[in-house]
Structure 1
């Protein structure tokens, strides 16, 4: 029979209050360690920043055990915020992976004791290669500390483990210091949201930071008509095959966007028994001051406009104000997981073949 987990009988006497008190103590100890680190950080940190900024290569992060796992996260944070970085396992490095390290790189070593054998054995080779070493360790008097070009000292930390053995407070401090290193480097490099989007193309965050150019329906797939034509002419002549937006973008003689006309706009004419309007110029019944977004804008802006105004179609225009495409709510909301929560439940008359647009329109915005 499989042994029960946590079979130590003393665990059975820990009531809820005791468990919560123990958890709070762990969090308090780790929080205090990070706070103390923020008060003791010194010019060694700026030296580390200088070493990385003066390097034309990558930051090679290495560490063993729990420190190595923290190192992998630090390497990932550096890379995602504009500093080229890779993680190198110290044991694998000793058996060939040192070939990944070049003289233009900087090595970031993580070891609480500064005496970890797998890490220490790399020092002679790195010294021979003349590669700068930044050490995150408890003391500069350790083997790694004495050999490093720059030492970021964690100080004397008490592990939050009840035995005082399991890496906890020390790895939290390492992680916080690594984040500080990565984010200060990112700030100094002028890393912008556009750069972040380039490195994070996946997920909702990358989607919102991308450009509307990447997600809009191109002009050849949109319905465009001159605003001098009648409503009936536009309905008859603006059909498009395939999945298309239900809105028609109206343009002036100069080709500039002058308004928009949607399924719901037509539905209102029918509901109000204004059939005679079908033979009047569409510019008389279109939404003239319609929302729009300029080519090159972030998708996040388009999503905000769609959500705030409760509309389903958003024209994209160039600098001259001429339409170049259309952002449809079904394209962007499906990627962000958002749903249109408008209470407008009015029926919609589908007059544009193959239209899949939401019934709520530009015309419903004051």
Structure 2
């Protein structure tokens, strides 16, 4: 019992500390190795006409792009599918292992298949490829080994040469998945540009979240929810004060006799005015307004309003519609929508 108690309290020096690891050096080495691999991939796509021919075939496609893979390649396939769908190319994911257990039925005669595999010789791929050939659909192989079984059977080779994984054991898919993902991005962007896919098209496919709001939310969508503080050029100071405090936007527009925008008065203008004028009773809006205020049109994107506010270090913009005063948009509106 005494011996057991003694052994349970060994001196700290008796326990060997793990060897120190230069984390930053390892991280940089991984990034440098993967960057070098991407450089090789960029050079490889011009070695044959396959990449360009693949893009043209997909552009003429009446069906969908079906992307498949196994293991880590399946995860890369899922991301490529998401990118294609969001940039105007209808796509879906099919797991290579599930394909031979019923999912092969999702492939239609007018579809196009992209199979991702580093080696191109995995058992699941060798089983799947003959089934795809039997269906008669075009097949592109996104492979590191162009001479593999998959490469030899494919109509198009999307070559992503990788000589070594960033993993020190050269086992864990690291550089190879980065290369495949980047080549998938290159394919999606080539299709996007070939289709003249615009920011407006992108917005229609991304209506949710902050990204969607930046792409579709217009100034008028927000300004129409606000009150429209306004006074005339000859309005007395008291009326100006009541309009600014009552409408709670920190400013009021000043309109001329024709109803056009003559300027703006902010609560900051009022504070500065108190130290500049002795006869407050005789003051009119025209005496303290700021002419040519910063404006934005109702049809401009709300994200642009944020940019203009930041550039001028202000918290509100006068909103116009066809050149006429239409209200205000405030920084709080943008905060509420999550654009800031």
Match of 2:177 in 1: 171
Tell me which moved more, 209-218 or 38-47. 209-218
| Deviation by residue 1:16-63 (Cα, 9 ceiling, x = unmatched) | 34x555544433332222211222212111011111111133322111
Match of 2:92 in 1: 86
Match of 1:283 in 2: 286
1:232 aligns with 2:238: yes
SS in 2 for 1:108: strand
Superposition misfits of 4+ residues, deviation over 6 angstroms: none
Could you tell me how far apart the structure 1 residues matched to 2:225 and 2:30 are?
59
1:330 aligns with 2:332: yes
Could you tell me how far apart the structure 1 residues matched to 2:290 and 2:338 are?
28
1:258 aligns with 2:262: yes
Structure 2: any 5+ residue segments left out of the alignment? Answer: 1-15
Please, which of 116, 119, 126 is the counterpart of residue 125 of structure 2? 119
Deviation, structure 1 residue 259: 1.4
1:184 aligns with 2:190: yes
Would the alpha carbon gap of residues 192 and 291 (structure 1) be closer, same or farther in structure 2, given more than 3 Å must change?
A: same
Would the alpha carbon gap of residues 259 and 20 (structure 1) be closer, same or farther in structure 2, given more than 3 Å must change?
A: closer
Could you tell me how far apart the structure 1 residues matched to 2:279 and 2:216 are?
43
1:245 aligns with 2:261: no
Match of 2:35 in 1: 31
Deviation, structure 1 residue 212: 3.2
Could you tell me how far apart the structure 1 residues matched to 2:220 and 2:125 are?
46
Tell me which moved more, 199-208 or 134-143. 199-208
Contact 1:215/1:331 (8 A) holds in 2:
no
Contact 1:306/1:312 (8 A) holds in 2:
yes
Contact 1:247/1:260 (8 A) holds in 2:
yes
Could you tell me how far apart the structure 2 residues matched to 1:171 and 1:206 are?
28
Deviation, structure 1 residue 208: 3.7
Tell me which moved more, 202-211 or 259-268. 202-211
Would the alpha carbon gap of residues 188 and 221 (structure 1) be closer, same or farther in structure 2, given more than 3 Å must change?
A: same
Alignment of 1:117-156 (within 5 A): 117-155=123-161
Contact 1:80/1:199 (8 A) holds in 2:
yes
Structure 1: any 5+ residue segments left out of the alignment? Answer: 1-10, 339-366
Could you tell me how far apart the structure 2 residues matched to 1:46 and 1:256 are?
56
Deviation, structure 1 residue 121: 3.0
Could you tell me how far apart the structure 1 residues matched to 2:244 and 2:170 are?
74
Deviation, structure 1 residue 273: 4.4
1:77 aligns with 2:83: yes
Contact 1:44/1:150 (8 A) holds in 2:
yes
Give the CA RMSD over aligned residues: 2.9
Contact 1:135/1:150 (8 A) holds in 2:
yes
Please, which of 44, 49, 65 is the counterpart of residue 40 of structure 1? 44
Would the alpha carbon gap of residues 323 and 106 (structure 1) be closer, same or farther in structure 2, given more than 3 Å must change?
A: farther
Deviation, structure 1 residue 115: 2.1
Could you tell me how far apart the structure 1 residues matched to 2:95 and 2:170 are?
26
Match of 1:105 in 2: 111
Contact 2:243/2:252 (8 A) holds in 1:
no
Could you tell me how far apart the structure 2 residues matched to 1:205 and 1:214 are?
18
SS in 2 for 1:83: coil
TM-score by length of 1: 0.77
1:294 aligns with 2:300: no
Tell me which moved more, 223-232 or 168-177. 223-232
Would the alpha carbon gap of residues 238 and 300 (structure 1) be closer, same or farther in structure 2, given more than 3 Å must change?
A: closer
